A and B are shown apart, each in its own frame.
Chain A
Amino acid sequence: MTYTLKILRRERNVQASYWESFTYEAVSEGDTVASALTALNTSTSPKNAEGESSRPIEWECSCLQKRCGACAMVIDGRPRLACDALLNESKTGELRVEPLRKFPVVCDLTVDRTILYDNLKTLRLWPSVEAELADECRDLAYESSECIQCGCCLEVCPNFYAEGPFFGMATVPLTTRLLTELSPADYREIARQYAKHTFAGCGKSLACKDVCPRRIDTEKLLVNANALAVWKRKKEKRK
């Protein structure tokens, strides 16, 4: 089956974007948008759908198996990992591929996600003392360690915008991990920052839950983080 990828491209240091289409002949049922981009870039000058020589398509990728978050982009209007987007999910055979829209575009599908890391720093997300993890909290700490900082949750969030006061779901898993592993006295500052930058701005649309490529139960983590950081519930009573 031949697929057409309609890619929203942009040169470095240029503001205007343009669409360019490429065709890809699928090799297997498991082929994804990442497979197509990888194959197109095996040439220094990939041919576009019109048969003209083009330049390689810039995109970030790393693990190619949904575990690192590098290849997050918007595919047919939905934020997802290119390595998780099976081509045969497309009914028409034509897929629209765009960079994430809430981050500045560097080139083509590569965006600058620096704000994600700046926000984590503002929230002071690090252990100030040695961790003490109770057996009953271990599964929650494990699940909240799984966030890959891809940015998909922020793309669909109605309240998040870069540089805004609300930091979005991308900060919640790491907050939950630290709240789970530290004592209330040791997470006081984290809780304060969380209340200000996450709790206060979250409208609970939970759109994030639908798009997380790691299938993290964002609602559960949010409930736990709110309970500990804002409502000061004790860990023993929390599930």
Chain B
Amino acid sequence: MEQNKQVNVVGAGLAGLAAAITLAEQGVGCRLISAQPSERAQSVLAEGGINAALDTMGEHDTPAEHFADTMRGGCFLEAESAVRNLTDHAPEVVRWLVRLGAPLMAKDGQLILRNFGGQKKKRTAYAKASTGKIIMTALIDEARKYEAQGLIRRYPHHELTGITVEDCNLKSIAVRDLFTQEMRAFTGRTILCTGGLNGFFEGMTTGTTPNTGNAAAIAFSAGVAFANLEMIQYHPTTMGITGKRMLVSEAARGEGGRLFIMRDGKPWYFMEEKYPELGNLMPRDVISREMVFVKREKGCEGEVCLDMRALDEFVWQHKLSDLRAEIIAYQHIDPKTDPVPVSPGIHFFMGGVRVDDRHETNVKGLFAAGEAACKYHGANRLGGNSMLGATFGGRVAALSAAQSAGHSEETVLTEAPPEPSHPECRAELREILLQGLGIVRTASEMQKAEEAMSLKCDAEQLTAIDRSRALLGLAMLQSALARKESRGAHYREDFPERDEAFRKLTLATCENGAIRLRFVSADAGEVD
């Protein structure tokens, strides 16, 4: 055991746990830092499943086809090398989870796979509607083994408050104990597994509340490069409950759920009519846009509804029992007997901290994985690829960090904790971002939002964290404005077509308090 080697992992969801366990497997110690315990991580909400071309359903599926579907779904906005790594290793990742005891659905020792959006073959391993939860339970138990050995040391109720970078090298990170307010600094290799940018759209996403986006804002201000910030996935089927959007899993459509809107008094199953081959299982961006467009059509009225009435009893009992219970609890609708009104909600951020194929950022010694990182999903993520990307990415980041990991120092800081973000400011930023970054975007709306956000960045009396948040928000809007085409989740009415000249990543960095935006090749595995 290499006692002296120590890596910091920030975030204890799926990517963070996968990273921590992988480090421990290598005999490398880690501090596992998280605002709340792993049981509260957003990963436990993942419902649908995890993709791997395990070919257990007699359809002759291959990793090559998983690769092709992921590239096509992502509109070719990611390096082939990275995606091939992911899809080639996917069967191994899922088998690892099974060995750890995640009770994925199986029969006679063979995993059962199901259909998911954007994929023509059954490739998604699952456990009823709680796939994320049961995978997390297995990983939490496995991590506990290494906690008992002292290899994983948890820092629960701690949040990241600072990242210090010198000459593009990570120097240290600072954290605050949310219980005692004590501040600490850690040197050494660090992996950010802090999730997506949900907190920039408070109350409007399917994510969790501790996922504030503060870690991303801190990283951005420290000089960490972010890519494809304009790529925000709206999941087509969500329902509004107070404080968030609640997801109706894609599995509901995978099992036969159909979208319709009332047109001239009759239900119009528009996805099936417009896309006969994949119908209700078209990629999420396509469906979300169609849901906006059909509402504009003549004769159409009311909300788009998801019709699950034809699903059989076995499906409700064994595959979607949790989903039905939630819809009944929060919407007072029984999906077995009545259509459920649904609308698109923010679900996933394809963009984030740009990492190379080893998951290292432009700041040496700083790595990122999971939804925090921009990797694998291009302009649009396929259902079932997020848990795969988080688990695989966490493991790759850990192996990379372990290679160069060394001694890490811990210092108790005497300084007072930084002033927190103000809820009023967060709400203002959210409204500006929503104006510019909807499902269907226009230059004028984005420009208005950009101007408002620029003013916000220059406003006096902002706390440091709120200023960092405004800067990252501005980078999101500028990335969207710069991409003068439509691709995946980014759809512009003024540029409705895909333009091959833009098969590039938008790369945003913060240099001396100003944003630098440029396009870089999508094919390079390295961070520019």
Contact = CB atoms under 8 A, between A and B. Distances in A.
B208 A63 contact: yes
Interface residues of B, number: 55
Interface in B316-334: 326, 329-332
Interface in B97-150: 98-103, 105-109, 127-128, 130, 133-134, 137-138, 141-142, 144-145, 147-148
Contacts of B128: 142
Nearest to A149: B39
A175 B23 CA distance: 26
A95 to B, nearest CB: 16
Which of B41, B128, B144, B244 has the most C-beta atoms of chain A within 10 angstroms of its own C-beta?
B144
Contacts of B41: 62, 68
A42 B422 CA distance: 9
Given A69-B39, A69-B40, A121 B144 contact: yes
A146 interface: yes
B243 A42 contact: no
B127 A63 contact: no
A189 B36 CA distance: 29
B103 A64 contact: no
B26 interface: no
B271 interface: no
Contacts of B134: 142, 145-146
B177 to A, nearest CB: 10
Interface string A62-77: 1111111110000000
Which of B137, B142, B244 has the most C-beta atoms of chain A within 10 angstroms of its own C-beta?
B137
Contacts of A67: 44-45, 133
B293 interface: no
Contacts of A126: 141-142, 144-145, 148
Interface in B176-212: 179, 181, 203, 208-210
B423 interface: yes
A148 B136 CA distance: 11
A117 B130 contact: no
A135 B142 contact: no
Interface residues of chain B: helix, strand, loop or mixed (majority) = mixed
Interface string A132-175: 01010010011001111100000000000000000000000010
Interface in B204-256: 208-210, 241-244, 246
A130 B142 CA distance: 10
B427 interface: yes
A177 B134 CA distance: 11
Contact of B209 (A39, A64, A112, A113): A64
A135 B145 contact: no
Given A41-B423, A65-B241, A106-B179, A181 B208 contact: no
B424 interface: yes
B106 A141 contact: no
A27 B145 CA distance: 46
B94 to A, nearest CB: 14
A218 interface: no
B133 to A, nearest CB: 7
B141 A178 contact: yes
A226 interface: no
Contact of A174 (B42, B141, B209, B332): B141
Contact of B103 (A35, A138, A147): A138
B156 interface: yes
Contact of A65 (B100, B138, B246): B246
B37 interface: yes
Contact of A44 (B145, B203, B422): B422
A92 interface: no
Contacts of A31: 242
A38 B130 contact: no
Interface string B413-454: 000000000111001000000000000000000000000000
Contact of B145 (A63, A127, A131): A127
A50 interface: no
Contacts, number: 151
Given A63-B208, A112-B179, A149-B39, A127 B142 contact: yes
A209 interface: no
Contact of A30 (B98, B138, B154, B331): B331
Given A29-B332, A127-B101, A120 B144 contact: yes
A38 B423 CA distance: 11
Contact of B40 (A38, A62, A112, A178): A62
A177 B246 contact: no
Interface in A85-116: 106, 110, 112-114
Contacts of B157: 112
B36 A62 contact: yes
B23 to A, nearest CB: 16
Contact of A28 (B44, B99, B147, B242): B242
A227 to B, nearest CB: 19
Contacts of A196: none
A34 B241 CA distance: 11
A135 B107 contact: yes
B155 to A, nearest CB: 12
Interface in B13-48: 36-37, 39-42, 44-45
A60 interface: yes
Contacts of A68: 39-41, 44-45, 208
A146 B133 CA distance: 7
Given A125-B141, A145-B138, A64 B423 contact: no
Given A41-B423, A126-B145, A63 B100 contact: no
B276 to A, nearest CB: 35
Contacts of A142: 103, 127-128, 130, 134
A198 interface: no
B103 A70 contact: no
Contacts of B208: 62-64, 68
A61 interface: yes
A121 B147 contact: yes
A224 interface: no
A47 interface: no
A175 to B, nearest CB: 10
A43 interface: yes
A143 to B, nearest CB: 9
7 closest Cβ contacts across the A-B interface?
A: A131-B101, A35-B242, A126-B145, A141-B103, A145-B137, A62-B40, A145-B134
Given A145-B130, A178-B141, 4 more contacts: A29-B332, A44-B423, A126-B145, A146-B137
17 contacts: A27-B242, A30-B241, A44-B423, A60-B40, A64-B242, A65-B45, A65-B326, A68-B39, A84-B329, A130-B99, A131-B100, A133-B101, A133-B103, A142-B130, A145-B133, A147-B137, A177-B141
